[in-house]
Chains A and B, each alone.
Chain A
Amino acid sequence: MKNLVKKFFDSNRKHFSENGKLEKLEPLFEAFETIFFMPAETTSGSPHVKDSLDLKRFMSIVILAIVPCMIFGIYNSGRISLGGSLQNPSLLASFQEGLIIFIPLLVISYAVGLFWEGVFAVVRGHKISEGFLVTGLLYPLILPPTMPWWQTAVGISFGVIIGKEIFGGTGRNFLNPALTARAFLFFAYPASMSGDSVWVSNAGPDGITGATALALSGTAEQGENIASVLAQNNLDFFNLFTGFTPGSIGETSALMCLIGAFFLILTGVASWRTMAGGVVGILATGFLLNFLSGFSSNPYLSLNPFYHLVMGGFAFGIVYMATDPVSSPGIHNARWVYGFLIGMLTVLIRVFNPAYPEGAMLAILFMNLFAPLLDHYAIKIRLKKRVINA
């Protein structure tokens, strides 16, 4: 097997090497080959040895951490579209339906995204970075199951080009590309991204409403208790935590995000400080609003803050999006602040801006913009302790 694959690459390399017919497409060939083979390149000079960790491994770990969310998301979106708890579809039927929903979106995401990656790599003569493998998987998971395919393609194009490539590609972008793509869709095609009907792909005759917890909370009347409104709609805390609820494909289950978070923290690939900061931010802001609820008629203020952790895309966002090392701060202290502010903004946007039911996405993108500033001050504080030798 190994020799066969090797032979294939060796025999085709000549077309892509200098003066070959397809010389310009060398980055594509290289990207394809390195999926199979770690190059034979060795160190030159000190240090003579290098760590076994590379970006491919790094990104593979993130993808592995997303897998629980993906599998559950496939099942859940299939199950909801087959009628949810009213019909109680079988596991197999749910998965089948889920795959029909998810696979086209995933294929579009990877195909269109990698096309743009390839175009930029060829034109600019750089290598294709592994970062997109994560972006391409995250993106369909934060879309509603009914997302039109062409809009999916336009969204990922925007995310890759404007969110990343025009700044120089992975490592030089300051926004999370997957979230940039989603934000673009959110503002460009609001009809496909919000409302009650987008979360269920073929609303059956039973008239299942696909209202999400966020939408119900945002529209609750004065004097209503949000927790009981949610419970009436089969959205009690346990369901929200486990994720048997309508929502974007991959982000309904806080439990699966927790499993992913555990894996990411265990491997040290994502920052636990960002995640912890986010949770603290949500709870602190939530409790503060509880405290202030007497001064306002908005029932959202008195919602138990723990609901904010399990509703909508916060859990998914703080675990997989906010921890993107490129668009988040690099200094430990700054990561705490960054996470905290994401949590705080998420709650504030949800509670005080009914036009945008989902606060997590905007909160993360907003804090992406502030990440360099947070780093700047965190570094300044750190350098104060230092004696400069010059």
Chain B
Amino acid sequence: MKTLHLKKGFNHPLSVKTTPGFEETVKPEKIGLVPSVFRGIKPKLLVEKNESVKTGTPVFFDKNNPDLIFTSPGSGKITDIQTGKKRIIKKIEILLDENEDYEELFSVTESNLRTISQNDLIHALLKNGLWPFIRSLPFRVIADFNKLPDKIYIKLSDNAPFYPRPEAWLKQRLKGFYHGLSVMKKLCSDVIVYADQDNHYIRSECQNSINYLISGKYPSFDPGVIAYRTNKKTSDIWYLDGQSIVTIGETLLYGRFSTKKIFVVGGQEIKFPYHVSSRYGAPVTSLLKTNQNFINKQRFISGDIYTGFQTEKDGYTGFYESGLSVVPEGDEKELFAFLKLGIDKPSFSNTFVSKIFNKGIKTDCNTHGEKRACINCGYCERVCPVDILPQFTMKALHADEIDLALSHGLLDCTECSLCSYVCPSKISLKEIFTEAKAKYLKEEEAE
């Protein structure tokens, strides 16, 4: 067990140190699928509106890769399929049945695992709809099952606001966890598990499985950051989070899709973040407390405030996202904002007194300024966890110098969004990098 401390990065004041509590489970009536969270796939439907599905029934597949199927995380009737421009599927709603009806899936028990071939195991994961859990670096797309990786990284903790703690999703599910871990070890001999150094629960519970204990600021728990620091090479790596490992393990053990998912809910107007036990595809409303009232207009973000995606109050959570961040929109004009001392203004820089008295800090989704040209101030470089020079890389991409950008480490970009966060010129650096990476991947695939 090694320790790894990461100096660079930024802890947003929204991520309070208090341990999130637990809330009663509210059983959702409906669940929803959001195919747009699966990057780089072309979803094609296998079901129609008003059709009934079981838990584990394939709902859509990737047109470019028909073996890659996505299954329903619940049983019920499909009540709505919303499509957007170019017939992109925006969301699929399923009204849940009273009693769960499971599709019979491939089971791979502990004894089977010893004898099963790698190919059969991959086949089982694909058929069970578990493959999408496995993603790969550097493009963060669903892993290519035709090419096994050098390493698999498994994250048990994260310090992004907000992310569930291991004691919430691991308690009483250790059997599934270890089985899932064995499955990964079957796929790749080099499985690296890492967790929070300060989390005593995980340290005592999984002592023998953990390879790295991590400390430091966000995004120190990102697999891309760990790979960059420990491995230098950030390609041919697969990554998953611990909760997915539990789901994979339990699904394979019992031959039915394990629907349980733990979320953590937090935000500016949610005084104490809390865990809530729900299921894959949970609607946003089912995660909120019934007595929770918001003063301002809120934005509901599935995932953390940096990398999550915007959903609605009547929307659904993503497949990978296990956090729900509720942040005020902040779409109001502010008088003489740049002259204020800024006791309540969060900032990476030292230009507000909030750096000294960080009490009552207010977070919202306002851009806090207008877009300007880059002035080479270098805040992005100071915060970048993988030592990219974002301001120069951005200019290289602006001039279409993709090779230069690659030599700067474009593909190491962890998409943590901190560069976009800190930029005083409000340049969307992360967006520029993500788009450039996607374009590069497309060109690579075309070759």
A: residues with CB less than 8 A from B are 1-2, 5-6, 34, 36-43, 45-58, 60-61, 127, 129-131, 168-172, 266-269, 271, 325-326, 328, 330-331, 375, 379, 382-383, 386-390
Contacts and interface: CB of A to CB of B under 8 A. Distances in A.
Interface in B368-403: 368-370, 372-379, 381, 387, 389, 391-392
A51 to B, nearest CB: 5
A38 B333 CA distance: 5
A233 B163 CA distance: 69
Contacts of A49: 12, 14, 305-306, 327, 346, 363-365, 421
A53 B333 contact: no
A382 B389 contact: yes
A48 B424 contact: no
Contacts of B381: 330-331
A10 B364 CA distance: 24
Interface in B412-433: 412, 415, 417-418, 420-426, 430-431
Contacts of B411: 389-390
If over half of A's interface residues share one DSSP class (helix, strand or loop), that class is named, otherwise mixed; here it is: loop
A326 B365 contact: no
Contact of A47 (B352, B407, B430): B430
A325 B367 contact: no
B175 interface: no
If over half of B's interface residues share one DSSP class (helix, strand or loop), that class is named, otherwise mixed; here it is: loop
Most buried by B among A51, A269, A271: A51
Given A266-B350, A389-B235, A51 B368 contact: yes
Given A54-B426, A56-B369, A171-B425, A48 B299 contact: yes
Contact of B349 (A130, A267, A330, A331): A267
B337 interface: yes
Contacts of B430: 46-47
Given A51-B347, A387-B232, A43 B367 contact: yes
A45 B431 contact: yes
A271 B375 CA distance: 13
22 contacts: A37-B335, A41-B366, A45-B310, A46-B306, A46-B308, A48-B299, A51-B348, A51-B424, A52-B347, A52-B352, A53-B368, A54-B370, A54-B426, A56-B337, A58-B377, A267-B349, A268-B350, A268-B351, A325-B377, A325-B378, A330-B389, A389-B411
A326 B376 CA distance: 6
Interface string B292-312: 000000010100011111100
Contacts of A34: 370
A383 B366 contact: no
A57 B138 contact: no
A1 to B, nearest CB: 8
B368 A52 contact: yes
B333 A50 contact: no
Contacts of B345: 52
A38 B334 contact: yes
Contacts of B309: 45-46
Contacts of B379: 51, 53
Interface in B127-142: 138
A47 B308 CA distance: 8
Given A55-B424, A379-B392, A386-B409, A38 B338 contact: yes
Given A2-B335, A42-B329, A49-B327, A58 B306 contact: no
Given A1-B335, A47-B307, 10 more contacts: A40-B331, A41-B367, A42-B367, A48-B301, A48-B306, A49-B346, A51-B349, A56-B338, A331-B389, A386-B387
A51 B423 contact: yes
A362 to B, nearest CB: 22
Interface of B: 12, 14, 138, 232-235, 299, 301, 305-310, 325, 327, 329-339, 342, 345-352, 354, 363-370, 372-379, 381, 387, 389, 391-392, 406-409, 411-412, 415, 417-418, 420-426, 430-431
A101 B370 CA distance: 36
B375 A61 contact: no
B71 to A, nearest CB: 27
B365 A58 contact: no
B373 A53 contact: no
Contact of B366 (A5, A40, A388): A40
Contact of A50 (B233, B235, B336, B367): B367
Contacts of A36: 335-336
Contact of A171 (B333, B347, B369, B373): B373
Contacts, number: 213
A388 B407 contact: yes
Contacts of B376: 171, 325-326, 328, 330
Contacts of A172: 373
Nearest to B371: A127
A239 B154 CA distance: 65
Nearest to B361: A52
Contacts of B138: 389
A330 B379 CA distance: 10
A39 B426 CA distance: 13
Nearest to A378: B389
Contacts of B365: 42-43, 48-49
A36 B338 CA distance: 9
Contact of A387 (B233, B334, B431): B233
Given A51-B349, A52-B352, A389-B234, A379 B389 contact: yes
Contacts of B421: 47, 49-51
Most buried by B among A36, A38, A331, A388: A38
Contact of B334 (A37, A50, A61, A375): A37
A326 B233 contact: no
B307 A39 contact: no
Contacts of A171: 372-376, 425
Contacts of B299: 42, 48
Contact of A55 (B372, B412, B418): B372
Contacts of A390: 406, 411
Nearest to B325: A48
A48 B162 CA distance: 13
A172 B425 CA distance: 13
B375 A131 contact: yes
A148 to B, nearest CB: 32
B344 to A, nearest CB: 9
Contacts of A6: 333
B389 A48 contact: no
A383 B408 CA distance: 7
Nearest to B380: A330
Given A49-B12, A51-B423, A389-B234, A58 B351 contact: yes
B368 A50 contact: yes
Given A42-B366, A42-B367, A268 B349 contact: yes
Contact of A383 (B310, B342, B407): B407
A46 B389 contact: no
B235 to A, nearest CB: 5
